[in-house]
Chains A and B, each alone.
Chain A
Amino acid sequence: MSRWMAALRLVGVGFFIGSSIVLGVAAGLWLDSRLNTGPAIAIVGLFLGIAVAFYGVYRMLIPLMKNKKNGESD
């Protein structure tokens, strides 16, 4: 694991969190307005967005955490 890879992964995290949550809520709101279901789908979308954000960040950062545990920083 090079330093570059670590840096690039960290750079991607911020926008990923933001856009996954916003996208989830936006899709939920759009579906709500289509189906007249009040805020129900928007809330589901919010939680799905948060789940995707967590999962994506976790996947992006696993190798970094693993690296630290082994103590072999490059």
Chain B
Amino acid sequence: MAKRGALGMSRPLLVGVLSLFVLLFVVGFLVGPLGRSMFGDLGLPAWLSLPQPEFKLPAETAFHLFGFPVANSIIGAWITMAVLICLSYLITRRMKVVPGRLQSAFEALLGWLYDLCRRVAGEENGRRFFPIVTTIFLFVAFNAWLSLIPGFGSIMVTTAEGEHVHLLRGANTDINMPLALALISFVFVEYFGLRSLGLRYVGKFFNVNQFFQSIGHIVRGRLRAGLGGIFTGFIHIFVGLLEALSEMVRIVSFTFRLFGNMTAGEMLLLIAAFLVPWVFALPFYGLELLVGFVQALIFGGLTLVFLTLAVTHHGEESA
């Protein structure tokens, strides 16, 4: 039996694979725009290099369904949903006490997320927030990973107008999808805040108690306490305004973080593959896998944090 080297390959095989990689890299470098600008045109065949990538920020309409335009990014979202639904059906159809490979992988992932929710939000709230956070996490992560599958961005269709467009596109590279996710997260935050704190939650944004109290003081003749109180009351109202505004800004920051990271990743891969064709883009693929996971974690985790903030009373927290 041959001696096993790194990556479970025998040594001659490893050397062969590595030298193939280096060869591909050198040829790619020479044939790509980067190498050509350094060493000039070496007369290598043109099919070795890639055409310059075009990236359109708004998603393109792939086809029309019952008169509605269907953008390529929403097809990506549907595929993500289909994959997630199929996966969960396959996993939960025959659950075993001693889980198989797929089941245990998902159990580990969900268990970890569940643990995270409970640790951040506490036992009871963690259980309530877990479905929302996990749904967002799974959707963002799978969407990012699916759009990294080779061929995802290569399928072209011709639209009714005769344009060639991509059939598929990562849903989060279209700003509407991150915005929708951010709005969903926002609605859940407000819902849970209202449900668990009731009127006190609204009081966070319209903090007029102190103001009216001090007006009451003035009316009853206690001028000194009243005037000081009115000043604090104004500050409270202003802070409430800032609180409301920061809630709005949160939606925008959620949206642009996800959209920016996903779109930049896609562009990075395209540009890397264009500048030095073939194996050069490989490390960036690894990077994008990580970015997809991290962005999913951030989106889900921040939703979790803001949910937790919404259900804790202002006074409790700063006390």
Q: Are A8 and B243 in contact (CB under 8 A)?
A: no
A5 (CB) vs chain B CBs: closest residue:
B120
Q: Are B253 and A11 in contact (CB under 8 A)?
A: no
Q: Are B239 and A56 in contact (CB under 8 A)?
A: no
Nearest CB of chain B from residue A72's CB, rounded to whole Å: 15
Q: Are A16 and B253 in contact (CB under 8 A)?
A: yes
Q: Are B249 and A2 in contact (CB under 8 A)?
A: no
Nearest CB of chain A from residue B309's CB, rounded to whole Å: 8
Residues of B within 8 A of A55 (CB): 239, 242-243, 246
Say if the beta carbon of B302 comes within 8 Å of chain A.
Answer: yes
Number of B interface residues in the complex (CB < 8 A): 24
Q: Hey, what's the 0/1 contact readout for B225-249 against A, CB within 8 Å counting as 1?
A: 0000000000000010011011011
Q: Are A16 and B301 in contact (CB under 8 A)?
A: no
Residues of A within 8 A of B301 (CB): 4, 8, 11
Say if the beta carbon of A38 comes within 8 Å of chain B.
Answer: no
Q: Are B318 and A62 in contact (CB under 8 A)?
A: yes
- Which of B245, B302, B318 contacts A11 (CB under 8 A)? B302
Say if the beta carbon of B252 comes within 8 Å of chain A.
Answer: yes
Q: Are A52 and B256 in contact (CB under 8 A)?
A: no
Q: Is the interface of A mostly helix, strand, loop or mixed?
A: helix
Residues of B within 8 A of A4 (CB): 116, 119-120, 301
How many A residues are at the interface, by size bracket?
Answer: 20 to 34
- Tell me the chain B residues, 188-234 only, with Cβ under 8 Å from chain A: none
Q: Are B119 and A52 in contact (CB under 8 A)?
A: no
Q: Are B243 and A19 in contact (CB under 8 A)?
A: no
- Which of A2, A11, A15 contacts B120 (CB under 8 A)? A2
Give me the interface of A with B, judged by CB distance under 8 Å.
2, 4-5, 8-9, 11-12, 15-16, 18-20, 23, 48, 51-52, 55-56, 59, 62-63, 66
- Listed A/B pairs (20) with beta-carbon separation below 8 Å: A2-B120, A4-B116, A5-B305, A8-B298, A8-B301, A8-B302, A8-B305, A11-B301, A12-B253, A12-B302, A15-B253, A16-B246, A16-B249, A18-B253, A19-B252, A20-B253, A51-B242, A55-B239, A55-B246, A56-B249
